[in-house]
Amino acid sequence: MSVRRFVGANSRDVMRQVRETLGDDALIVANRRTDTGVEILAMADDAALDTAPAVPAQAPAPAPAPAAPSASPAFEELSAQLLREMQDMRALLARPSQGGASATPDFTVTTLLARAGFGAELCEEIACALPATLAALPPRDDQVLAWLHRQLEARLSVLEAEDTFFDRPGIVALVGPTGVGKTTTTAKLAARFVMRHGTEQVALVTTDSFRIGAHEQLRIYARLLDAPMYALDAEQPVNELLDRLNDKRWVIVDTVGMSQRDQRVITQIDQLQGGDSSVRLVLVLNAASQPETLEEVVLRYRQAARAAGATLDDCIITKQDEAGRLAPLLDIVMRFGLRVLFCSHGQQVPEDMALADRRALVEQALRTQADDARAWPGTALAPRWSQEMLGQGRRLSLLLGRLRERVEGFALLETAWDIAALPAVLHDQRLDEIAARADDQEVLGIHWAPRRNVRGVEWSMPDLALDADGHPCALALLQHRQSAGWQPRIAAQARAAVHLLPTLVDAPTQDWLEAERLTWVSQVSGSQRVYWQGQRYALAALFAESRPSHHVGVRFKGQALQLWSVHAEVADGDGRRHLAWYGEIRDPESAKRVAKRYWLTPARLGIEVESLLVTQLQGEASVALAKRAWQALKAADGGETSPQVRLAMAAGAAAVAAHLDGAEDDTARALREDVMRLGRARARRDTALLDAVMHLLMTRDAIRQLGSVGREAFA
């Protein structure tokens, strides 16, 4: 090894010298500031390098470069100590691994998931979605782990509240192989129901006449709960009991355990479906079972349910405390789309059962790491093409779910897209019904569009509602449904406190806005007249000699630019006080001006209103995006879709793309990268996002049209 000293006028200069001399893999040993600049000690793992102090590489200059100052003794001593410590660390890392998580480059996100016990398919699916910004970080970095948790939690469906399970009357039947804990789980569920609704409305039923003592075990639980218990023969249809259970609100059935390979499973589930009452099937899964066994159980029991005309979408995890690893079970639950209702971790009734907590389950799964880095492949019980299509469908479904969670009103936009599949005569009527539900969106403000047609098309840009963070909501507000005149139009949006206006509204509307203490911004032209220090000026003339001195970042038409602004307090002809703003949108690299804008805002709001100027600027991209989406939809639907419905679809997709392009929090960045993988690479990020959002919504619509997956699969 060798250590060399580099000096330069600044950090950038000295780092350039390090890279040119030692390469990009050079290791910085120490650095400090000196009277003449910056001094760095760096090393490369190459004994051939000269250990003498290096002469800094200098660009050609008219004068000789100053001599490099010598390092102080204290600095050299510290550097030598650091070097010794790093050599010791290198030697330690070079020793053979003694098990556990490797720190070598071979240890990847896939390795981490595989060692936890997740299957190869899910490992590959998640690893492929890893954002580029995180791929360079170690797998155990906090940012990577947080992203992994979000990915896994998004794939894990759980019961959000007990109310939705216990407060719904009906019959619940627990099914599954022998020994998974169905009888104890039956007692636990019954006890939780009794704690909520009392003993009068519940009954226990068992069909297990094969296992010795099964009836007696459940009878003891029933006696403790003061609830009636009924026994059915395994081949006796449950509907024979229905007349005797008419006064019971909730009936829970403990079925006989059967191997997933037993052909009688189909008969058993078919008998449970007898009668007029719908039986909710819940699959009980033993967390301590082998993953291959669990996968076969889920597949075979689901096939049996489908053969009987029933659905099997819910499960309960038992023996969680006995499981060496939880990841294999969660992998199967995620891939098959099961919803976890409860988790059981002991024999005590009802204490040792809790509502499923997705965060806790994922944490437990990732906490346990085995030495074997190979992901289990999964059993080939289903055709490969089915598994691949399920994987693709799962990814699309997850993206849709995350968009619903992130973008206010996205579910309403999906409903608007559904209209295109209906007869054309119903389009406008259904759209009016959906538009009336726009009030369901949580809205902070409105980005009002100009009251004129967009250039090149015969429609006006819809107005965009803004969420609490100033990002566009998904369901746009069509202009043709609104009142005439600015004041009635704004008053109809009473829920909105902020109004970004495309023009300076008339004097009575300004007075009304001030009386209502609403926040507003008006974009105006440079010819707008105002009074400053008693003289009348056009805004362009007022700011002609001004140099904007303050800047903030802004996403403007798909690019990361800067808004440089300057303001002055002015008045109008009636004495209303405003702040007049002049803004230049500049390229941060070249400082070239891309565009300029003028605004008027109420003086009472002060300069804090600047953030709203940024919001209004970022919203301008929605017009071009909506036009692009409109043209794509028109080409695809052959003119069969109502123009108003098509406009709602296009403007909504544009709003979603603008939302994702403008948001910069961690959640939005991760979602943005995942969405963009669906589209093609584009020069403009907002255009790439629009194409991806359109692809996602069109794919969803195609799946629904084929009828293979219903709307509820995406809910």
Question: Rounded CA gap, 365 and 119, in Å?
Answer: 12
What would the pLDDT profile of 288-327 be if each residue is shown by its tens digit?
Answer: 888 888 988 888 888 888 877 778 889 999 998 888 889 9
For residue 474, give both structure tokens: 């998904």
Asked whether 369 and 327 are in contact (CB, 8 A), the reply is: no
Amino acid 1: pLDDT:
44
- If you average pLDDT over residues 692-704, what whole number do you get? 86
Q: Is residue 601 classed as helix, strand or coil in its secondary structure?
A: strand
With vertex at residue 594, the alpha carbon angle to CA 592 and CA 600, rounded to the nearest 5 degrees, is 120
Confidence (pTM):
0.64
Q: Report residue 206 as tokens.
A: 């068992």
What is the per-residue pLDDT for 542? 95
> How far, in Å, CA of 406 to CA of 675, rounded?
13
Helical ranges in 56-108 per DSSP H: 73-94
Q: Tell me: the pLDDT tens digits for 533-582? A: 999 999 999 999 999 988 999 999 888 999 999 999 999 999 999 999 99
CA dihedral 275, 281, 286, 290 (to 10 degrees): 100
The number of residues making up the chain comes to 715
Query: For residue 672, what are the CA distances in angstroms to 131, 541, 675?
Result: 10, 42, 5
Residue 454 confidence (pLDDT): 92
| CA within 13 Å, CB half, 293 | 11
In DSSP notation, 283-322 reads EEEETTS-HHHHHHHHHHHHHHHHHTT----EEEEE-GGG
Q: Which CATH architecture has domain 160-363?
A: 3-Layer(aba) Sandwich (3.40)
Q: Is the per-residue pLDDT at 341 higher than 90?
A: yes
DSSP H or E run through 571: strand 559-571
Residue 328's CB is within 10 A of a number of other CB atoms, namely 26
Q: At what angle do helices 384-406 and 142-155 cross, to 10 degrees?
A: 110
Asked if 491 contacts 503 with a C-beta cutoff of 8 angstroms, the reply is: no
**564 Rama class: left (phi>0) / alpha (psi -120 to 50) / beta:** beta
Sign of the alpha-carbon dihedral angle for 186, 189, 194, 195: positive
Contact 633, 650 (CB under 8 A): yes
Name residue 235's amino acid: E
Distance, in Å, from the CA atom of 672 to the CA atom of 676, rounded to the nearest integer, reads 6
DSSP 463: B
Q: How confident is the model at residue 701 (pLDDT cuts 50, 70, 90)?
A: confident
CA distances from 482 to 214, 334, 485 (A): 67, 45, 9
Exposure on the CB side of residue 656, measured as CA atoms within 13 A: 37
C-beta pairs of 10-14 under 8 Å, 24+ apart in sequence:
10/37, 10/38, 11/38, 13/37, 13/38, 14/38, 14/39, 14/40, 14/56
Q: State the pLDDT confidence band at 238, using cuts at 50, 70 and 90.
A: low
In the prediction, which pLDDT does 617 show? 94
pLDDT band for position 55 (cuts 50, 70, 90): very low
pLDDT above 90 (res 361): yes
Q: Is 299 exposed, middle or buried (0-12, 13-18, 19+ CB in 10 A)?
A: middle
**Every domain of the chain and the residues it spans:** 2-94, 160-363
User: What is the reported pLDDT for 239?
Assistant: 67
User: Does the structure show a pLDDT above 90 at 511?
Assistant: yes
pLDDT category at 69 given cuts 50, 70, 90 is very low
Q: In which band, very low, low, confident or very high, does the pLDDT at 42 lie, cut at 50, 70 and 90? A: confident
The pLDDT of 263-283, averaged and rounded, is 68
For residue 624, which of 681, 697, 689 has the smallest C-alpha distance?
689
Give the mean pLDDT of 227-242: 71
DSSP 19-51: HHHH-TT-EEEEEEEETTEEEEEEEES-TTS--
The identity of residue 601, as a single letter, is T
Residue 438 has pLDDT above 90, yes or no: no
Interacting residues of 243 by C-beta distance below 8 A, sequence separation 6+: none
Sign (positive/negative) of CA torsion 647, 653, 656, 660? Answer: negative
**Dihedral pair phi/psi, residue 519, rounded to 5°:** -90, 130
**Which residues make Cβ contacts (< 8 Å) with residue 319, sequence separation at least 6?**
180, 181, 286, 287, 288, 344, 345
Kind plus residue range of the DSSP H or E element containing 393:
helix 384-406
The rounded distance, in Å, linking the Cα atoms of 370 and 73 is: 49
Phi, psi of 346 (to 5 degrees): 170, 180
Burial of 558 (0-12, 13-18, 19+ CB in 10 A): buried
- Residue-wise DSSP of 602-636: EGGGGGGGHHHHHHHHHHTHHHHHHHHHHHHHHHH
414 pLDDT more than 50: yes
Query: 186: which residues sit within 8 A by CB, 6+ positions away?
Result: 174, 204, 206, 218, 221, 252, 253, 254
State whether residue 535 is helix, strand or coil: strand
When pLDDT is cut at 50, 70 and 90, the band that residue 527 belongs to is very high
- Average pLDDT of the segment spanning 83-104: 45
Mean pLDDT of the chain: 81
List the beta bridge partners of residue 37: 34
